[in-house]
Chain A
Amino acid sequence: MSTEMRVHLRRWLSFFAMAALIAIMTGPSGSNNAPVQGLTQSFAQPYSYFGLFRAQRWMIFFTFALVALGLQTLWRRSGGGVRARTAVLRQGFEAPGRRRATVLSAVVVVALVALFIPHLISNPGIQSGIVEQVLAYVILALGLNVVVGWAGLLDLGYVGFYAIGAYVTAWMTGRLPIAAPFHHPVSSFAAIPVAIVFTMLAGVILGAPTLRLRGDYLAIVTLGFGEIILVFSNNLTNVTGGSQGTNPYIPSFTFRIGGLKYLFGNVGYYFLVAGFVVVTIVLFRLLEHSRVGRAWTAIREDEVAAESIGINPLKYKVMAFAIGASVSGFAGAVTASQIGVVYPSTFSLYFSVNVLTLVIFGGMGSIVGVIFGSILVQGIAVYLRFYPPSGYQASDLYMYLGALLIMMMIYRPAGLIPSRRRRREIYQAEDGIGHEGDVLLGEQS
Chain B
Amino acid sequence: MLKVTDAVVRYGAITALHGVSFEVEQGEIVTLLGANGAGKSTTLRMLSGLHAAQAGRVEFEGRDITKVKAHELSSLGIAHVPEGRRIFPQMTVEENLEMGAFTRKGSYGEDLERMYGMFPILKDRRKQLGGNLSGGEQQMLAIGRALMSQPRLILLDEPSMGLAPMIIDQIFRIIAEIRDGGTTVLVVEQNASQALRLADRGYVLENGRVVLADDADRLLVDPRVRAVYLGEEVSTEEPASSEIPSGE
Chain A interfacial positions (CB closer than 8 Å to B): 291, 294-295, 297-298, 301-302, 304-313, 421, 424-425, 428, 433-436
A312 close to B86 (CB less than 8 A): no
Which residue of B73, B82, B132, B149 contacts A305 across the interface (Cβ within 8 Å)? Answer: B82
B88 close to A301 (CB less than 8 A): yes
Give the distance in Å from the alpha carbon of A307 to the alpha carbon of B73 in the complex. Answer: 9
Mind listing 27 A-B residue pairs with CB under 8 Å? A291-B102, A294-B99, A297-B90, A298-B88, A301-B90, A302-B89, A304-B50, A307-B49, A307-B50, A307-B70, A308-B48, A308-B80, A308-B82, A309-B149, A310-B72, A310-B103, A312-B71, A421-B90, A424-B90, A424-B129, A425-B89, A428-B89, A428-B131, A433-B131, A433-B132, A434-B90, A434-B131
Give the distance in Å from the alpha carbon of A294 to the alpha carbon of B97 in the complex. Answer: 13
A310 close to B89 (CB less than 8 A): no
Whether a CB of chain A sits under 8 angstroms from the CB of B74 is yes
Task: Sort chain B's interface into a size bin.
Answer: 20 to 34
B145 close to A297 (CB less than 8 A): no
B90 close to A310 (CB less than 8 A): no
Q: What is the chain B residue whose CB lies nearest that of A424? A: B90
Whether a CB of chain A sits under 8 angstroms from the CB of B216 is no
Give the distance in Å from the alpha carbon of A310 to the alpha carbon of B148 in the complex. Answer: 12
Q: Which of B86, B91, B103 has the most CB of A within 10 A?
A: B86
Enumerate chain B residues within 8 angstroms of A433, measured Cβ to Cβ: 89, 131-132
Q: Which of A302, A305, A312 has the most CB of B within 10 A?
A: A305
Q: Given A310-B73, A424-B129, A428-B131: A297 and B82 within 8 A (CB)?
A: no
Give the distance in Å from the alpha carbon of A178 to the alpha carbon of B4 in the complex. Answer: 60
Enumerate chain B residues within 8 angstroms of A306, measured Cβ to Cβ: 71
**A-B contact sample (18 more), CB < 8 A, given A308-B48, A434-B89:** A298-B99, A301-B88, A301-B89, A301-B90, A302-B87, A307-B70, A308-B73, A308-B82, A309-B79, A309-B146, A309-B149, A310-B71, A311-B102, A312-B71, A312-B72, A421-B91, A424-B131, A435-B86
Give the distance in Å from the alpha carbon of A309 to the alpha carbon of B145 in the complex. Answer: 8
Whether a CB of chain A sits under 8 angstroms from the CB of B208 is no
Q: Given A295-B102, A307-B70, A308-B146: A425 and B88 within 8 A (CB)?
A: no
Q: What is the chain A residue whose CB lies nearest that of B89? A: A434
Enumerate chain A residues within 8 angstroms of B82, measured Cβ to Cβ: 304-305, 308
